[in-house]
Amino acid sequence: MTQPNLDAVKHYLLDLQDRLCEGLAGADGSANFHEDAWQREGGGGGRTRVIEEGALFEKGGVNFSHVYGDKLPPSATAARPEMAGRGFHAVGVSWVLHPRNPHVPTSHGNVRFFIAEAEGQPPVWWFGGGFDLTPYYPHLEDVRHWHQVAQGLCQPFGDDVYTRYKSWCDDYFFLKHRGETRGVGGLFFDDLNEWGFERCFAFQRAVGDAFLEAYLPIIERRRHQPWGENERDFQLYRRGRYVEFNLVWDRGTLFGLQSGGRSESILMSMPPLARWEYDYHPEPGSAEAELDDYLRPRDWLNE
C-alpha cells in the first residue's frame, strides 16, 4: 500500500475547481464565477467561487477548502472515537448549482480527502464524495443518462461499485422527516481506503472528472423549456426541501461548522430563494405530482 500523498490530492482538487468553473461558466454563457479567497483562524483556508444571476444559473458555487487543526471536531469522531485528539487535514472541492429555469435540475457534488495523524501512530485517511441530481420536473431519459455516467465511471473499479454507492446515495440523501429522497440520487461514498491510496485516489478523480459529462447534456436538453409562475412557485417550494436536508441531515455542513470553517462558504449551497407552504399537495395528475414517483430509490438503469 502506497503512502497517502496530501499534496497530490490538493493539486488535483485545485485543478478540478478550475475545470468545473470553466465548464459551468461556459454553459451559462453570460456570467462568470467570482472568487473569494479566505483564511481559517485555526489553520488553512480556501477559495470560494460563486456565480449569480446568469443566463442559466440563478446561483451556483464551486468551493475549494483545505483546513487543518490539532483536534478533530465531534462530527468526525462520533463514529470513530479512537481518533479523538488527533490532528487532521481535510481538503476538498464541493459544488452546488441552482438553475433559474425550473426544468433544469439542481445538482450537487463533492470530492474530499481526510487524513488524521498522531505521533508514533500510522496515519488514518479516507476519501469521500459523490454527486446527486435534484429535478423538479423530472424526465426519465435525463435520470438514466445521469446514472449511466455514474455506472460507467464505477465499472473499472469493480462490478459491484456502482450498485453499492448508488444505494448509499439513496440512503444518505433521504429526508427522514419527510419520507422521501432529496432527488434521483447518483453516487455517494465515504471512508474509502480499502483499495489502497493510489486506487482510491483514482476513483476520486473518476468521480470528479465525470460530473460535467453527467450534467451538461441535461442542461442543454432542458434550458429552453418554457416556464411561468406556476413552475417557479413549485421550484421554490421544492427548494425548501433542499434547505431542510442541508441544515438537518448533511454531515458535511455539520463538520464545516464544527471545525470552524467559513460560514459563508459552507452555506453557499443554499438556494437564493425558497418557500414553504403548509400541507401542500400537488393536484393529482399534474406535472408537479409526477415528481412523487421519482422521490424513492429505483433501479433507473434496469426498469
Query: Could you give the C-alpha distances from 167 to 82, 177, 219, in angstroms and in order?
Result: 28, 19, 25
DSSP designation for 158: -
| Among candidate residues 282, 261, 278, 271, the one with its CA nearest the CA of residue 239 | 271
Q: How many residues does the chain have?
A: 303
Residue 134's SS3 state is strand
What's the confidence (pLDDT) of residue 287?
96
Single out the catalytic residue among 108, 145, 224, 281. 108
The backbone torsions φ and ψ at residue 260, rounded to the nearest 5 degrees and listed phi first, read 75, 25
- Helix 197-222 and helix 140-154: axis angle, to 10°? 160
pLDDT of residue 227: 98
Separation CA 118–CA 211 (nearest Å): 35
Fold of 6-295: oxygen-dependent coproporphyrinogen oxidase (3.40.1500)
Tens digit of pLDDT per residue, the chain (303 long)?
578 999 999 999 999 999 999 999 999 999 999 999 988 888 899 999 999 999 999 999 999 999 998 877 666 656 666 677 778 899 999 999 999 999 999 999 999 999 988 777 788 899 999 999 999 999 999 999 999 999 999 999 999 999 999 999 999 999 999 999 999 999 999 999 999 999 999 999 999 999 999 999 999 999 999 999 999 999 999 999 999 999 999 887 887 787 777 788 788 889 999 999 999 999 999 999 999 999 999 999 998
Block residue for cell numbers 481535510: 90
CA atoms within 13 A on the CB side of 63: 30
Residue numbers belonging to the annotated binding site: 94, 98, 108, 110-112, 147, 177, 260-262
Single-letter residue type at 182: R
Which residue positions form the known binding site for a divalent metal cation? Answer: 98, 108, 147, 177
Sketch the domain layout of the chain as residue ranges: 6-295
Whole-number Å distance between alpha carbons of 223 and 239: 18
Whole-prediction pTM: 0.92
Listed in sequence order, the residues at least 6 apart from 150 whose beta carbon sits closer than 8 Å to its beta carbon are: 131, 162, 165, 166, 186, 187, 210, 214
Burial class (CB in 10 A: 0-12, 13-18, 19+), 182: buried
Is the Cα dihedral 282, 169, 16, 210 positive or negative? Answer: negative
User: Is-catalytic flag, 108?
Assistant: yes
User: Of all residues in the chain, what percent are helix, strand and coil, respectively (each to 5)?
Assistant: 40, 25, 35
